[in-house]
């Protein structure tokens, strides 16, 4: 399963990287390994909501349930995320990222804090 990751380089600059979570199973139903979780919460961002650059409050897995957000990393790259999109945010240090809720629909988001990078431990920045 492919999705985006936000990570930080040695200079503290955040960047996007495409990652692939390993899946197993038959073609009709595949899944990843179980992952440990520290906590989870739901968030709702109304259209027009914006943050300045901020760091993730932990190693986060994020799933978008409705609406649309634009996320900008410190190298200036922006990506849009809508219903069904998922990403991991590991920018717990450095400059962080900026979020802007766009469109006409509120953006409902699930945040899951992970104790570690799990299957992605060996990724390099």
Q: How much is the pLDDT for 121?
A: 57
Walking along the chain (125 residues) 10 residues at a time, the average pLDDT comes out as 92 94 86 90 97 96 97 97 96 97 97 88 54
pTM attached to this predicted model: 0.89
Q: What is the spatial distance between Cα 14 and Cα 93, in angstroms, rounded to a whole number?
A: 9
SS3 118: helix
Q: What is the spatial distance between Cα 20 and Cα 118, in angstroms, rounded to a whole number?
A: 12
Q: How much is the pLDDT for 118?
A: 78
Q: How much is the pLDDT for 124?
A: 53
Tokens of 35: 């992952």
Nearest to 86 by CA among 104, 102, 110, 103: 110
Query: Where do the domains of the chain lie, and which CATH numbers do they carry?
Result: 2-18+41-119 (2.60.120.10)
Strand locations in 1-125 (E):
2-8, 14-20, 24-26, 29-31, 39-45, 59-66, 68-73, 78-82, 86-89, 97-102, 107-114
């Amino acid at each position: 399963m492919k999705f985006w990751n936000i990570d930080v380089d040695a200079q503290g600059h955040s960047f996007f990287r495409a990652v692939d979570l390993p899946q197993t199973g038959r073609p009709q139903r595949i899944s990843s390994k179980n992952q440990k979780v520290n906590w989870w919460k739901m968030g709702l961002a109304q259209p027009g909501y914006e943050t300045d650059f901020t760091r993730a409050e932990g190693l986060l897995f994020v799933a978008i349930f409705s609406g649309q957000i634009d996320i900008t990393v410190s190298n200036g790259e922006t990506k849009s995320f809508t219903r069904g999109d998922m990403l991991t945010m590991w920018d717990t240090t450095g400059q962080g990222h900026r979020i802007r809720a766009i469109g006409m629909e509120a953006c409902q988001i699930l945040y899951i804090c992970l104790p570690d990078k799990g299957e992605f431990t060996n990724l390099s920045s």
